[in-house]
């Protein structure tokens, strides 16, 4: 074989034309990352104050709020780290479909940690319910109000990150990581209110049982939140199918090409408002994969779609694919 002759052949320009950037929209630092980092730092400091105050005053409701906030602090720290890692490895080709799922993996891990700490809290609250210790409600109330104030401030900061993006898809409902952080803070604000109610009951009417009872109710709420977060993130980590509404819109775009019918469609999330798909389309008229990809271009968040085109045998067309 004449290798010298082979080397004189010009490089294939088609290959260069088909080369595409490996980014899936994860390489840009967003307002959500900065705000989550700030809220994580605030939450860590407040968590330490509440746990120490809860142990000192004997308030299980305040301790519950501190442990709950500790779970949120871990989750917020993981969320901030996930934003950074997803941005750093956004174009790493070892990650075939981008780095977006780093955010969901962080949320899944925080839910597991939060669930374990909550089980301990329920056991301790049950013990205190029947063996109540000394309680200093006035001191505990001061710290609980401080905790509630911090939670409201944190919620305002995170909600502002969602409003920073004008596209509705980039708000807290689209960014799973940001939405999880906001849910953490709002749930913690609710437990702060519960702690204040329990302490007021003990201070004004001597209801020592109310404090651990509210702590148990708080624990059940945390467990419910943890389960919800696990359910949401597991679906994404296991490549569950996209919502029916998005599947319908994709199907309509593909079938808008004349003489086309979607035979098979796999559509799943690979990150924040980022989706990829593999579709098999039966065409009754001459069509190419590029025509279908062009039809999908108007849908935000669809990256690297793969479309197989099969020409209808009954129409006498030659079958083919991408």
**pLDDT digits (tens), the chain, 322 positions:** 454 444 444 445 444 455 555 566 666 777 888 899 999 999 888 888 878 877 887 777 677 777 767 777 877 888 899 889 988 887 778 887 888 888 888 888 877 877 887 788 788 778 877 776 666 677 778 777 888 898 899 989 988 765 555 444 433 345 777 877 887 787 777 777 877 888 888 778 877 788 788 878 878 887 888 888 788 888 888 988 888 899 999 999 999 888 888 999 999 988 877 888 999 999 888 788 888 898 898 788 888 889 999 887 766 544 444 4
- In the CATH hierarchy, which fold is given to the domain comprising 244-315? Alpha-Beta Plaits (3.30.70)
What is the pTM for the complete model shown? Answer: 0.73
Contact 36, 79 (CB under 8 A): yes
- Cα separation, 57 vs 55, whole angstroms: 6
Give the full edge-to-edge strand order of the sheet including 274-283: 260-271, 274-283, 306-311
Write down the CATH superfamily of domain 31-237. Answer: Cation efflux protein transmembrane domain (1.20.1510.10)
The Cα-based distances of 28 to 35, 90, 179 in angstroms read 15, 9, 18
Report how far Cα 119 is from the mean position of its chain's Cα atoms.
Answer: 23
Domain with CATH 3.30.70.1350 in the chain: 244-315
Domain with CATH 1.20.1510.10 in the chain: 31-237
């Amino acid at each position: 074989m004449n290798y010298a002759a082979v080397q004189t052949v010009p490089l294939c320009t088609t290959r260069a034309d088909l080369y595409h950037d490996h980014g899936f929209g994860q390489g840009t630092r967003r307002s959500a990352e900065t705000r989550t980092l700030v809220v994580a730092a605030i939450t860590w400091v407040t968590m330490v104050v509440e746990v120490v105050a809860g142990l000192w005053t004997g308030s299980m409701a305040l301790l519950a709020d501190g442990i709950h906030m500790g779970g949120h602090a871990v989750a917020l720290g993981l969320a901030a780290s996930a934003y950074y890692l997803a941005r750093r490895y956004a174009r790493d080709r070892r990650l075939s479909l981008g780095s977006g799922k780093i955010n969901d993996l962080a949320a899944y891990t925080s839910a597991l940690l939060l669930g374990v700490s909550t089980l301990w809290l329920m056991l301790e609250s049950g013990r205190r319910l029947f063996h109540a210790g000394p309680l200093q409600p006035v001191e505990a109330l001061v710290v609980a109000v401080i905790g509630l104030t911090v939670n409201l401030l944190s919620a305002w900061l995170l909600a502002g990150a969602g409003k920073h993006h004008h596209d509705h898809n980039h708000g807290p409902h689209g960014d799973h990581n940001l939405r999880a952080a906001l849910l953490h803070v709002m749930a913690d604000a609710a437990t702060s209110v519960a702690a204040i109610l329990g302490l007021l009951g003990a201070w004004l009417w001597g209801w020592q049982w109310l404090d651990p009872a509210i702590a148990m109710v708080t624990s059940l709420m945390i467990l419910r939140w943890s389960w919800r977060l696990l359910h949401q993130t597991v679906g994404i980590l296991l490549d569950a199918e996209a919502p029916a509404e998005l599947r319908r819109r994709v199907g309509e775009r593909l079938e808008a090409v004349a003489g086309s019918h979607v035979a098979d469609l796999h559509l799943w999330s690979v990150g924040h408002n980022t989706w990829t798909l593999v579709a098999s389309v039966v065409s009754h008229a001459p069509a190419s994969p590029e025509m279908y990809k062009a039809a999908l271009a108007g849908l935000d968040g669809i990256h690297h779609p793969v479309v197989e085109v099969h020409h209808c045998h009954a129409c006498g067309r030659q079958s083919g694919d991408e």
